[in-house]
Amino acid sequence: MNNICLNMIVKNESEIIVDTFNNLRKSIEINKFIISDTGSTDDTIQVMQDYFLKNNLEFEIHNDKWINFGHNRNLALSHCSGKSDYILFFDADDRLEGELKLPTLTADIYGLKYKSANSQGFIYFRKGLIRNTVAKWIGVIHETIMPLYENLNQVEIDGNYYIQTGHFGSRSNNPNKYLEDALILEEAFHNEPDTSILKTRYAHYCATSYYSHGDISKSIEWFKNRIKLRKNSPDFNEEYLAYRYLGMIYKENAEYSLAIDTWLTGWNHHSSKAELLYEASSTHGEIGNYRLAYEIALWGKDIINSPIDQNYCFEENIYKYGLNYLISRYGILSGIYDQPFKALVNIANQPFYSIELVDHVIESLNKILNSNVQIHTDICFLEKLINYINNHDCTLTTMRNELSQLLMAYTQKTNGF
């Protein structure tokens, strides 16, 4: 059986580090802990030593001078050489949620599923578990793992889990964190050759750092820089996010036409991204353009009925519920009922999401039934809708009961209603 070494860099994490170790050990058997401390001034080192000794765990703690993230990650990685089969990377403020079941380890690099700490909660895969000595870190900040050899076997581990990235570690206590990051990234960008993959990565994270700092003008400038560099990098995810963020900024400034145009331009380049259609559709709906909102949401019908493109980060709820909600809401407001009905069935096929969404399904079905428009559907779809509205909590109990009786009556027919 392959053994796993946990490799971390830490500084002043005494308040959270024990919880970090306990969180990981619930799901992953870690055979050795190799930690690089980059200058803690609290009792982080003592807390770790006490924990390892108390739990009879094999460990090494190294005191390393801080240079930058790429340098220090590689220094920490070098401490693991020849001491394990695989190396697991984890930050002190990351938390494993759900149940991660590791397969029998045979691949060179494994992508683990992460969830971002921002309000959107993007899901994405990141190289988090590697065979010893097959990769290195690159980048002064927002560093990433780069394979050392061609044709390495890379596998993504999916499942009912994710690693929640955190913003509660020691570094996040710095009120100027994002500005300092942006300035470091801007300098690094200008020091990289024009053909460098790192140049595009620095542009992306420079933009997001300025955005998080609140400097909207600079964030717009750097998101545009990232889009201009699209031919320099195979990472289409960063470019997709540039369009996504740019549109959000324009919308926040009430520049709705510019926001919608930005999202649709992005979708033209990244046609598997339902999120861009969702943003454009919902914004049209919010400003009263119901028919346009419906038509744009409908463009994503085939996307949400296909497997999610996991080459990008993604918001799973948009694929499960979001676009179907918009199709049903704005279709009905436009006097269209056939596709909205199908969208409601799609929602009913998914697990419970919220009381508000159940209320939406009930209200929408009620409007369709009262429209006197003939909807041709299979009995099984009617039964799914009946089960959905009856088996989930809602606030519209009277309407639900009446609707349930009507739908049950329609199941006696074979051609819908």
What are 363-388's pLDDT values in tens digits? 999 999 888 877 777 888 888 999 99
Query: Rounded to whole angstroms, what are the CA distances from 360 to 198, 386, 400?
Result: 46, 14, 11
When pLDDT is cut at 50, 70 and 90, the band that residue 119 belongs to is low
172 or 326: which carries more pLDDT confidence? Answer: 326
416 or 31: which carries more pLDDT confidence? Answer: 31
Query: Whose CA is closest to 304, among 329, 335, 276?
Result: 276
At 73, list the tokens.
Answer: 């990650």
**Mean pLDDT (whole number) for 336-356:** 96
**Mean pLDDT (whole number) for 297-307:** 96
Query: Rounded to whole angstroms, what are the CA distances from 380 to 13, 341, 414?
Result: 55, 14, 10
Contact between 326 and 295 under an 8 Å Cβ cutoff? The reply is no
Contact between 185 and 238 under an 8 Å Cβ cutoff? The reply is no
Measured CA to CA, the distance from residue 297 to residue 113 in angstroms comes to 27
Measured CA to CA, the distance from residue 395 to residue 356 in angstroms comes to 8
Query: Whose CA is closest to 328, among 351, 303, 358?
Result: 358
pLDDT in tens, 53-102: 999 999 999 999 999 999 999 999 999 999 999 999 999 999 999 999 99
289, pLDDT greater than 90: yes
**pLDDT for position 172:** 74
Measured CA to CA, the distance from residue 31 to residue 58 in angstroms comes to 7
Domains observed in the chain: 4-172 (3.90.550.10), 337-417 (no CATH)
**pLDDT for position 120:** 65
pLDDT in tens, 237-285: 999 999 999 999 999 999 999 999 999 999 999 999 999 999 999 999 9
**pLDDT for position 231:** 83
pLDDT in tens, 42-54: 999 999 999 999 9
217, pLDDT greater than 70: yes
**pLDDT for position 414:** 53
Question: Which residues touch 417 (CB under 8 Å, ≥6 apart)?
Answer: 369, 374, 375, 377, 410
106, pLDDT greater than 90: yes
* Predicted structure pTM score: 0.90
Query: Whose CA is closest to 126, among 142, 140, 141, 149?
Result: 142
Question: Which residues touch 24 (CB under 8 Å, ≥6 apart)?
Answer: 6, 30, 88, 90, 96
When pLDDT is cut at 50, 70 and 90, the band that residue 415 belongs to is low
At 82, list the tokens.
Answer: 């020849």
Measured CA to CA, the distance from residue 224 to residue 247 in angstroms comes to 11
Using the Cα atoms of residue 57, residue 63, residue 68 and residue 74 in order, give the sign of their dihedral: negative
| Residue 352 per-residue DSSP state | P
At 208, list the tokens.
Answer: 């997001």
When pLDDT is cut at 50, 70 and 90, the band that residue 235 belongs to is confident
**Summary mean pLDDT of the chain:** 94
**pLDDT for position 382:** 87
Query: Rounded to whole angstroms, what are the CA distances from 42 to 19, 45, 67, 118, 360?
Result: 17, 8, 20, 28, 52
End-to-end CA distance of the chain: 60
Measured CA to CA, the distance from residue 28 to residue 39 in angstroms comes to 28
HEC secondary structure over 30-45:
CCEEEEEECCCCCCHH
**pLDDT for position 143:** 96
When pLDDT is cut at 50, 70 and 90, the band that residue 416 belongs to is low
Contact between 338 and 416 under an 8 Å Cβ cutoff? The reply is no
| Residue 320 per-residue DSSP state | I
Long-range contacts of 25-28 (CB under 8 A, 24+ apart): 26/96, 27/96, 27/99, 27/100, 27/101, 27/161, 28/4, 28/88, 28/96, 28/100, 28/102
Question: Which residues touch 98 (CB under 8 Å, ≥6 apart)?
Answer: 159, 160, 161, 162
Contact between 244 and 266 under an 8 Å Cβ cutoff? The reply is yes
199, pLDDT greater than 90: yes
Instruction: Tell me the H-state helices in 334-410.
Output: 338-348, 355-369, 379-391, 397-410
